[in-house]
Amino acid sequence: MDIKETKLEIYDKREKATTTLYVEQLTGNKFRMIDNDIWNCNLTLGTEFETRINKDGKHEIIKITKKSDFITRRFFLNANYRSADYRVLGDELAKRGGFWQVDFGGIATVNIPKDFEYDVDQVMKDFGLNLTEIVDDK
């Protein structure tokens, strides 16, 4: 089966807001995240979900069918560091099957494979990267 990458607008009725997600379309109403949503911590790389079309013709998520296989962490980037300082860690992560993205030029999201051989906190410490982690307060 061919997987189709698409841009999907999702309406969140609790937040009364619409967000755009980049996903792989698995079936007519089933999708897999190909990056991380900046606002919803449940919608991270690899998460699969089903939608329905609401009365306004917009997609709404009705069920997450598979959680991501990655450990996802978010950090505020520090203006004292150059992007090259972060890229070393990000490139190493990508080589081993992980993923990283930067949103708004100051928020880094990393998707760490569960079998990642390095302790990310130790690597950041070794590189002298003192980043503030953003934690979900749920």
Q: Is the pLDDT score of 56 beyond 80? A: yes
Q: Is the pLDDT score of 1 beyond 60? A: no
Domain boundary among 66, 90, 114: 66
Q: Quick one: pLDDT at residue 105?
A: 83
Q: What is the mean pLDDT of residues 99-109?
A: 88
Domain count along the chain: 2
Q: What is the mean pLDDT of residues 59-84?
A: 89
Query: Are both 56 and 77 inside the same structural domain?
Result: no
Query: Are both 56 and 94 inside the same structural domain?
Result: no
Q: Quick one: pLDDT at residue 2?
A: 58
Query: Are both 14 and 44 inside the same structural domain?
Result: yes
How many other C-beta atoms are found inside a 10 Å radius of the C-beta of residue 71? 14
- CB contact at 8 A, 50 and 65: yes
Domain boundary among 66, 87, 104: 66
Query: Are both 10 and 59 inside the same structural domain?
Result: yes
